[in-house]
Structure 1
Amino acid sequence: MTASTAPNASRLPIGVFDSGVGGLSVLREIRAQLPHEDLLYVGDSGHAPYGDKSQAAVTARSMAVCEFLLTQGVKAIVVACNTATGAAASALRERFSIPIIAMEPAVKPAATQTRSGVVGVLATSRTVVSDNFNRLVARFSSAATILVQPCPGLVERVENGELDSAELQQMVDDYVQPLCQQGADTIVLGCTHYPFLVSLIQASAGQQVRIIDPAPAVVRELQRRLAEQHLLSNNTARGQVAFWTSGSIQQARFIIPQLWQDGGAPDIRHWSS
């Protein structure tokens, strides 16, 4: 039985996962746009970062997390991780029958919105070598010059709860300023961890540079897919949210409340696979 054929399927929760806590930036957007949906979030922090792992390793972890979410009865899964999207989205869609909504760096809107004709993309090292990402860049390279900047180290800083320090600002400067010096007036956040550093990125780029977070577009696609299959919740109450981590529960209880900021103490549990 699939989510779409189960009794009261619309009342089932939406599963969301990331290599760690970065996907909370997407979860917050889902919460804002679909406040009546129940949400289950898995941060695979015990295996983070995904960005320095092979495609096979990232696919294996993505499969394991999705299998777990299915045991929790989810009606759809959001892959809130650009690295997992590039490595595993196709395989996940082949294996699972429920809707799988994945991230896509906002290269298309950036290419249409740039005034200078130059777009910068900040991403993990694994994302920038993925076939999906490179096909995306190639598709819009005739509309704009697209500069791709790998950003090793930023995911780990966010995972550790370091969101604002002089050392981190210098690291951000090292990644952002070369893009601006080459004329980029639009910068795409190609990793779900990076929205938590947007103030540092904007400070480095300057207010005249547009920063694009793909999360709102991803949630619009989620809403469209759920509506198409009659899976949007008809709850009138605010949805419930539960969190799992495969890493340190103590670290999760430290960092998740900082990033989630939805009021109250979040329900955080440990999961291992």
Structure 2
Amino acid sequence: MSIGIFDSGIGGLTVFREISREFPEADIYYLGDTARVPYGNKSKNTIIRYSLECANYLLGFGIEALIIACNTASSYALETLQESLDIPVIGVVEPGVELAIRYTKNRKIGVIGTQATVKSNSYKFSIEEKGDFQVFQKACPLFVPLVEEGMIDHKITEMVIKEYLEDLVKEGIDTLILGCTHYPLLKESIQRIYPYLTIVDSSKAIALYFNNIGTEFKGRGEKKIFITDESHSFEKLKNMLVGNIPLEKLELSKLCSL
């Protein structure tokens, strides 16, 4: 069985890595829309249009399941893609929510993400629908550029983590959802500063989701990664996360009419 994964850029490679580990025989095709990153500051209609274009390209590989490895696109475009495509479409929100609810002891859950993800309230609404939980959200717009610059273990990054998370910690959260697929790269730094927090990594949550529903992915083990614009930071982090899988530059005109 083959899987398509798309994200606005680098972050979804954390999902690619976990799916590859859990299902090594699966054929996996990844599209990073680096020419139009970030999605987090775009309008809902634009995010939906970009998501449909990415999905339609990946369908050309005969994929049998699609993962939206972008919290912003999951928040705004999931329903449209599920209605438009005749294959299973999975976003990152629900798997992360399910894990957070399972982990929390005091029912106080923090969510961090892009401006668009936080504004959508997708995590908040989903968690509150499932019971009497308190949800505290925080947009962390500097995290993505810090990750993409490779400043993962850096004093500046540590300062920014404290700046963003201190208010959530003061609210008494015991569980923190990393509501952006870039953020798992900061997981160790966050855990080091706040060792008492249980951190929900959306990339691992998706792999667990597929395992829990008993999906079998068996193919030739083919792995392909496409980007819509050259990106040194993408290649650097790609090598760190998934090794020497080659990158293929995809002209944006293959996705949309320019």
Same fold (TM over 0.5): yes
Query: What one-letter code is carried by the residue in structure 1 that aligns with 2:158?
Result: Q
SS at 1:215 equivalent: helix
Contact 1:16 1:77 (8 Å CA) reproduced: yes
Query: Which residue does the alignment assign to 1:270?
Result: 249
CA contact (8 A) 1:41 1:243 kept: yes
Find 1:215's aligned residue among 175, 200, 203. 203
Contact 1:16 / 1:78 at 8 angstroms: preserved in 2?
Answer: yes
User: What SS class does the counterpart of residue 21 from structure 1 fall into?
Assistant: coil
The answer to whether 1:123 aligns with 2:105 is: no
Alignment deviations for residues 26-45 of structure 1 (CA, whole Å, 9 cap, x no partner):
11111111111011111111
1:1-150 paired onto structure 2 within 5 Å: 10=1, 13-104=2-93, 106-130=96-120, 132-140=122-130, 142=132, 144-150=133-139
Q: CA deviation at 1:223?
A: 5.0
2:162 aligned with 1:170, yes or no? no
Unpaired segments of 5 or more residues in structure 1?
Answer: 1-9
Can you give the 5+ residue segments of structure 2 that lack an aligned partner in the other structure?
none
CA distance in 1, matches of 2:50, 2:239: 25
Q: Within the alignment, does 1:192 sit opposite 2:171 as a pair? A: no
Does the 8 A contact of 1:46 with 1:246 survive in 2? yes
Q: Name the aligned partner's letter for residue 46 of structure 2.
A: A
**Matched length:** 251
CA–CA separation in structure 2 for the residues paired with 1:183 and 1:223? 32
Aligned in 2, Cα 1:200/1:88: closer, same or farther, shift over 3 Å? Answer: same
SS at match of 1:52: coil
TM-score, normalization: structure 2?
0.88
* Counterpart AA for 1:185: D
Change (3 A) 1:145 1:132: closer
SS of aligned partner of 2:30: strand
Change in CA separation of 1:98 and 1:126 when aligned onto 2, cut-off 3 Å: same
Distance 1:46-1:118 versus aligned 2 partners, 3 A rule: same
**Bigger Rg over Cα:** 1
Q: Secondary structure at the match of 2:192?
A: helix
Structure 1 residues 74 and 112: alpha-carbon distance in aligned structure 2, compared to 1, 3 A threshold: closer
Query: Which residue identity lines up with residue 14 of structure 2 in the other structure?
Result: S
Identity of aligned residues (%): 30
